[in-house]
């Protein structure tokens, strides 16, 4: 679905030609060290960042040529992007629902359900600015799910959420995929990726290093070992920081 996506900032290459086929019904994990270009890639795939080269399709619709149709099909949890956080949780969900052109009655019903399931109903009328980091992730996820999209693009959905919420989110996503949806998400949590994903891709320095089904990529070893091998880098300190 992604073809030769590339982007550089001020001459510095952030993503240098990424090809990625995300099969419908797959649970796709995108891995990579900090600064690898995951956020940049996903932003280009959903129409937030104009690529220098390449194309992105969602179920046959070009995100950059035919944005209205393509955007209808996916829900996105972007990273490093604020929500309209001076609304309360319920208001925010209502806003997103109407923005997606949904029927108000459906919006009401789904918003209530999502707030209850994600344990955000207690927050009541607290504005989203005043939510904790994990709560913000959860409400962001709820916004992405609200219009029941065919594809979910999630940037670090497990960051900052507590173990109970993480288990809940895993469950939601698994049910979603079982129901025919497709998920692509980036994460640094190997255990989650190993447990959930059918496919993984490892991105480093803006290019794909490994890609395939989970079994193809890991083989006999654990995902973490493969990741460290592909990415390189040190995992232990030597003489430095002795003063700490």
Partner 1 sequence: MALTGQATQATEVAAAPRAVSPRHFVRLKLRIMGNSFRGQVWRVVLFSFGILFGLIYATAGFFAAAAAGLAGNTDAAFLVAAAGGGVVALSWTLLPLLFFGVDETIDPSRFALLPLPRRTLVVGLLTAALIGVPAAATLIATAGLVLSAGALGGAGAAVVQALGVLLGLVFCVAVSRAVTSAFANLLRSRRTRDLAAVLLAVSAALIGPLQIAINRASTNTDWRRFLPLSEVIGWTPFGAPYTAGFEAAAGHWLAALAKLALVVAAIAVLLWWWSRTIETAMVGTASLGPAARQGTPGAPVDQLFPRILRWARRDRFGAILAREVRYWWRDARRRSNLITFAVAALFVSAMVNFGEAIWGTEAGEPARDVAASPLTFTLSMIFVGTLAAVTLANQFGFDGSAYANDIIAGVPGRTQIAARAAAFTVYVLPLVVLIAVIIGVLVGEPTWIPMALGTLVGTFGCGLAANSMLSVIGAYALPETSNPFALNTGAGMARGLLSILSMVIGVVLAVPLLLGALFAGDVWLWVALPVGLAYGAGAAWLGSVIVGDVLDRRMPELLLTITPRR
Ligand X SMILES: Nc1ncnc2c1ncn2[C@@H]1O[C@H](COP(=O)(O)OP(=O)(O)OP(=O)(O)O)[C@@H](O)[C@H]1O
What are the residues whose beta carbons fall under 8 Å from the beta carbon of 188, sequence distance 6 or more?
A: 31, 156, 159
Q: Which region among 42-50, 190-198, 202-210, 218-226 touches partner 1 (by CB under 8 A)?
A: 42-50
Q: Which is nearer to ligand X, 90 or 203 (CB)?
A: 203
What distance in Å separates the CA atoms of residue 93 and residue 88, rounded to the nearest whole number?
9
The yes or no reply on residue 39 touching Mg ion (CB under 5 A) is yes
The yes or no reply on residue 191 touching partner 1 (CB under 8 A) is no
What are the residues whose beta carbons fall under 8 Å from the beta carbon of 86, sequence distance 6 or more?
A: 127, 128, 129
Q: Which is nearer to ligand X, 14 or 20 (CB)?
A: 14
The yes or no reply on residue 182 touching ligand X (CB under 6 A) is no
Number of residues interacting with Mg ion: please give it, by CB under 5 A: 2
- Residues 31 to 60 in contact with ligand X, rule: CB under 6 A: 32, 34-40
How long is the chain? 244
* Minimum distance of Mg ion from residue 72's CB (angstroms): 25
* Cα 179 to the center of its chain, rounded Å: 19
Residue that has been written with the tokens 């955000």 in this structure: 120
The yes or no reply on residue 142 touching ligand X (CB under 6 A) is no
CA dihedral 69, 29, 37, 65 (to 10 degrees): -10
The yes or no reply on residue 100 touching partner 1 (CB under 8 A) is yes
* Minimum distance of Mg ion from residue 37's CB (angstroms): 9
The yes or no reply on residue 1 touching partner 1 (CB under 8 A) is no
The yes or no reply on residue 190 touching ligand X (CB under 6 A) is no
The yes or no reply on residue 133 touching partner 1 (CB under 8 A) is no
Contacts with partner 1 by CB under 8 A lie at 10, 46-50, 67-68, 71-72, 76, 78, 80-88, 90-91, 93-101, 104, 107-108, 111-112, 124-127, 129-130, 143
Contacts with ligand X by CB under 6 A lie at 9, 14, 32, 34-40
């Amino acid at each position: 679905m992604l073809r030769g996506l590339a982007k550089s900032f001020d001459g510095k290459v952030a993503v240098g030609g990424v090809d990625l086929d995300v099969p419908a019904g797959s649970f796709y994990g995108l891995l990579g060290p900090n600064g690898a270009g995951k956020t940049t890639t996903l932003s280009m795939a959903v129409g937030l960042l104009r690529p220098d080269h390449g194309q992105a399709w969602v179920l046959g619709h070009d995100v950059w040529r035919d944005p209205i149709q393509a955007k209808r099909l996916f829900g996105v949890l972007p990273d490093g992007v604020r929500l309209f956080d001076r609304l309360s949780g319920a208001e925010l969900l209502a806003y997103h629902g109407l923005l997606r052109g949904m029927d108000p009655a459906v919006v009401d019903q789904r918003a209530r359900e999502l707030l209850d399931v994600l344990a955000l109903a207690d927050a009541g009328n607290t504005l989203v600015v005043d939510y904790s980091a994990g709560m913000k992730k959860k409400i962001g996820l709820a916004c992405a799910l609200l219009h029941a999209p065919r594809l979910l693009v999630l940037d670090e959905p497990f960051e900052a959420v507590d173990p109970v919420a993480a288990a809940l989110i895993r469950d939601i996503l698994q049910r979603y995929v079982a129901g025919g949806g497709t998920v692509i998400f980036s994460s640094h949590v190997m255990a989650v990726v190993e447990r959930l994903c059918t496919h993984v891709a490892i991105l480093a320095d803006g290019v794909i290093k490994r890609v395939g089904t989970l079994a193809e990529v890991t083989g006999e070893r654990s995902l973490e070992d493969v990741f460290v091998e592909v990415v390189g880098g040190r995992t232990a300190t030597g003489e430095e920081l002795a003063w700490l």
